Amino acid sequence: MPEGRLLSADPYEPVPTFWDRHSAWAAPVIVGAMAAFLQVAAFPPLHSPEAAYACLAPGLFWAYLRPRLKVYAWTLFAAQAVAWTINLGWLHPVTWVGLFVVGPLVGAWTGVWYLAAWWALPRMLGRQTPVRLLAMLGLAGAWVVDEWTRTWLLGGFPWMPLAATQWEMTSMLQIAAYTGASGISFVIVAANIGVAAFVHRLFLEGEVGLRRRSPELLLGLFLILVCLSVHIQETTNRSRYSEPFARVAFVQPYIPALVKWDPSKETQIMQTLWTTTLSARDLHPDLVLWPESTTPFPLNADPSMRRFVEQLSARLKAPMLVGADSVEQAGPGRVSAFNSAFVVDPQVGVQAAHYSKRRLVQFGEYIPLRPIFGWIGKFVPLGDDFTAGTDSSPLVVTLNGGAAALGVLICYEDLFPALSREEVREGADALVVVTNDAWYGEGAAAYQHAAHSVLRAVENRRPVLRCGNGGWSGWIDEFGAMRKVMVNDSGSVYFRGVQTADVTRDRRWVGRYSYYVEHGDWFVAVSACLLLLGAGILAVGGGAAASRRGAAPWAAG
């Protein structure tokens, strides 16, 4: 026997495994790493929407084993903070400070939901199937409520709801016309709970035969089938109902964001706009789109800017929708600046009616609570604060001899479902998003931003025309299909140029509202009720809730 080797006093005592000795730190590391990886993989620009159906499962499975709350909370908060910081990495060209504040903040916001899972899932063990399923729906509802708060709390930053992971999966999107995008998130969360419950039941609950089936997984699959059935019903034979709307030219001048407001670059900017836009003349467009804040000076206050765009429109013999700043007298010696969009008619010139952005970017276009946060300053050099617009009326353009109403969304306004819904209720025939994502380089920002436009198209059953300074530009039909994406010869969305698309619309939805447009965020209210009902039923008579049947020795984490 080798010298120095110690034998157990009991020869039949099992030798501790690596997991027995190191599970206290290994479980949090594995769960945290898997949660962060799957969260990043699920969102654009990566093309892995399937990852969304498992991105919450590692944390949920761990919750079944009832680890210590402190360990569980810090692990999942850290995983979400890392994942969101990676997903929002495109912020760094503008502000590193903002990235390392917003990433962990949104991660913590999401991480709060895991605390509800930690409380609820162990209490579901040993309960009757209806109780478990109701609790499962309550957890999915809690996620919807959590995402909804991001549309308004602290000024609102609803960037990348879980539904955005499905932006390339039209088969999963159609439910949004009834529930809003929150219905898609609800189904994805329910599927994740089903996966975690099935794995726990399969390996740790000791069931055999048909009893190994997981009701939670079956319910999750049923909800996915509901989405697929809506897809079949809504999209079958849609080509029969397609009718022409307009040939649209998307102009990407790709002017660097910091150059736009440099007076010394005015001549260069104007030359770029002139030559790039006029290259669309031979394409015979019915409508020409410019991105957000294209002109270097306010369009309604600078006569030279006005003449410039009017001459372009006349040469093109087509109306233009132009993103440009505007100013208005706010009182004696005071002027208010707006981020606006104007229609330029080839015969009558710049129309008086214009749209001004209603949702401004915090610390970009204005400082929230300036007396408190004014010392932080803006992340971008845009001078004084902009003023928010108040009018949701669409802009009217003449297309093919008839009038068309275009609901305009500027920059990240397509993140807010209520804004596009208001414009459709005001009579918008199509939605137009003009934006400038060039602030954030050539990373993930443009793709993540475009994913929200896909959701708005389905919710409102209206085509979405999207024009970015450098990308992503193109159009999305009423069912969320990306019918045209501007790319160059190398397949990149980031380039300077003009391309046209023959935009169509589905005649079944002309002048008709989707259920979501008619009724708004009713599904959020239903989700809140499910949350309260699920929590209540678990809290009552929860003796079995404390059961740790099947828990592994390392459950304490």
Are 400 and 481 contained in the same domain?
yes
Residue whose C-alpha is closest to residue 157's, from 84, 92, 73, 94: 84
- pTM, two decimal places: 0.91
Are 311 and 427 contained in the same domain?
yes
Are 529 and 436 contained in the same domain?
no
Cα–Cα distance, 280 to 502 (Å, whole number):
14
Tell me whether residue 14 is in a domain: no
Tell me whether residue 47 is in a domain: yes
Region at 180 (left for phi over 0; alpha for psi -120 to 50; beta for the rest)? left
Q: Please tell me the predicted confidence (pLDDT) of residue 218.
A: 96
Are 460 and 529 contained in the same domain?
no
CATH of the domain at 401: 3.60.110.10
pLDDT for 23 beyond 70: no
Mean pLDDT across 183-190: 98
Q: Taking the mean position of all CA atoms in its chain, how far away is CA 148?
A: 12
Tell me whether residue 173 is in a domain: yes
Are 184 and 315 contained in the same domain?
no
3-state secondary structure 440-462: HCCCCHHHHHHHHHHHHHHHHCC
Q: Please tell me the predicted confidence (pLDDT) of residue 97.
A: 85
Q: What percent of the chain has pLDDT over 90?
A: 72
Are 102 and 171 contained in the same domain?
yes
Tell me whether residue 18 is in a domain: no
Q: What percent of the chain has pLDDT over 70?
A: 87
Q: Which residues of 152-177 are buried (b: 16+ CB within 10 A; e: fewer)?
A: eeeeebbbbbbbbbbbbbbebbbbbb
> How many structural domains comprise the chain?
2
pLDDT in tens, 473-500: 999 999 999 999 999 999 999 999 999 9
Tell me whether residue 11 is in a domain: no
Mean pLDDT across 78-95: 93
Are 227 and 203 contained in the same domain?
yes
Tell me whether residue 5 is in a domain: no
Mean pLDDT across 453-467: 98
User: In sequence order, what DSSP letters do the residues of 33-47 get, joined into one string?
Assistant: HHHHHHHHHHSTTS-
Are 305 and 411 contained in the same domain?
yes
Tell me whether residue 300 is in a domain: yes
Are 207 and 150 contained in the same domain?
yes
Tell me whether residue 369 is in a domain: no
pLDDT in tens, 371-405: 444 434 445 555 567 899 999 999 999 998 789 99
The CA distances from residue 169 to 227, 268, 339, 355, in Å, are 11, 41, 33, 32
Average confidence score pLDDT of the chain:
89
Are 311 and 436 contained in the same domain?
yes
Domain enclosing residue 454, as ranges: 245-359+382-510
Are 396 and 336 contained in the same domain?
yes
pLDDT for 281 beyond 90: yes
pLDDT in tens, 291-328: 999 998 899 889 999 999 999 999 999 999 999 999 98
Cα–Cα distance, 345 to 313 (Å, whole number):
7
Q: Please tell me the predicted confidence (pLDDT) of residue 410.
A: 97
Domain stops at, among 469, 488, 510: 510
Are 231 and 249 contained in the same domain?
no
